[in-house]
Every structure is written in structure tokens, then in C-alpha cells.
Structure 1
Amino acid sequence: MKAIILFGHGARDSRWREPFDRLVDLWRAQHSGVLVELAFLEMMQPSLEEAVTSLVGKGATDIAIVPVFFGQGGHLRNDFPVLLQNCRGKFQNISLSATPAVGEDSAVLQAIVDFGARAL
């Protein structure tokens, strides 16, 4: 079974996660047949490992991790690969893949341009 993890940085202010919760709601409304979980690098729960554990417990065998970051900074270049490798070691029978940061996708960048254009 396929699943997706939307992976964000995390913050001290709990309101910071509200757009991530809306992303999950949108995902579930549009892709109800594919499980989705949030995960955070730091300061918020669940962690990446906790999200993978939850999805595996629900029957997921093929999990795509989508870093909801604007670009490939130090966290995605240094911290994320270690977390992903640890999960791959713990869940050896599960396929774990990762996409580039969402901010590197041309459609996401165009959506931001369109958002800015609507503000004019």
C-alpha cells in the first residue's frame, strides 16, 4: 500500500503547523485511497520515524516523503538524509523514497508567482 509523508521543519508556535494540517485535509479530500501523515524535523511531533511507524502500522509498504521546504538548505542536505537512512535501517522491508523540496518544483514556483499577481 502506498502512502505519503509531508515533512516540514517544525516551530515552537503551534499555529505554524496550521497550513500543514490544511495540506493533509486537502490530500485526504483529493486522494482518499492514499494514507498521509505529517512529520517534522524538530520542535513538533510526529518525527519522521514516528510517522513512518504509524503508516507501517496501517499497512503502508511504499512511502514517499515530500519535504515541504522552500529549498535545499542545510536541514535537507545534512539532517534529512540521516533521518531517512535511520528509517530505512529500521524499516528494511518498506520502500522509503524522497522527493526534492517542494519549492524546487516549477509548478510550485508558478503558484507563488500567480499568488503574487493576484495581490496586485
Structure 2
Amino acid sequence: MRILMVALAVTLLAGCAGSVMNDARTKAPYKTLKSDKPEKVVAQCVQFSWQDEAVFGVDAGAYLQPGEKGGSTVYTRSAESFVDVTTDASGTVLSYYAQQDDFVAKRRLAALATCL
């Protein structure tokens, strides 16, 4: 029963975050970065770096899911920040979106940059 409740909570969280992410994707990303590393490696690194409680405190949740158009998406609770990680001819492309241009968004961007 406990596993079912956790699965339901994750599903609901992903559904709410999805509409916020779709709205954000209609605008230009906060920052676009490139990497020579494989997409899966970069996505997992971003997820791990965003889960660092020493840096982000209680807001250190980060989730990884398949991307809307391939690749992967790493996002925070309520999709306050998220990054679409995709592969193109030049390598891995990271499109970073943030709801607000604040200290936390910049800190997440810095953590993301360590994965390039």
C-alpha cells in the first residue's frame, strides 16, 4: 500500500509539473549550454547535483524523466527549475528554464554547469 501511495504521489507531481514545463517551453530558455558527454550521463549528473542538500537545503529534490521530444528532463518540485537534455549533431544540448531569475536559479545553473 505504501508503494502505491508513493507511485501515485510521483504521478501527480509529474502531471502538475508537466503543464508548467510546457508553458515555459513556449519561451526562450533561461540558458542554453552544450556538452560533449552523453545525454544520459549529463542528465543523471544534473539530477544528482540538484539533490545536494548542503547546497539547496530542504529544496533539494530533483526528478528525472524521459524528455517530451526525446532525451531527458530533470526538474525540481513544481518545476521551479528544469533542464531539457537532448542530443543533436553537435553533442548534448541543455536547455535550462527557471521560473524566477533569483539566487536559487543561478545556483542551480552553476550546479548544472559542473556536469558539462
TM-score (norm 1): 0.28
* Structure with the higher fraction of residues in strand conformation: 2
Relative to the length of structure 2, the TM-score reads 0.29
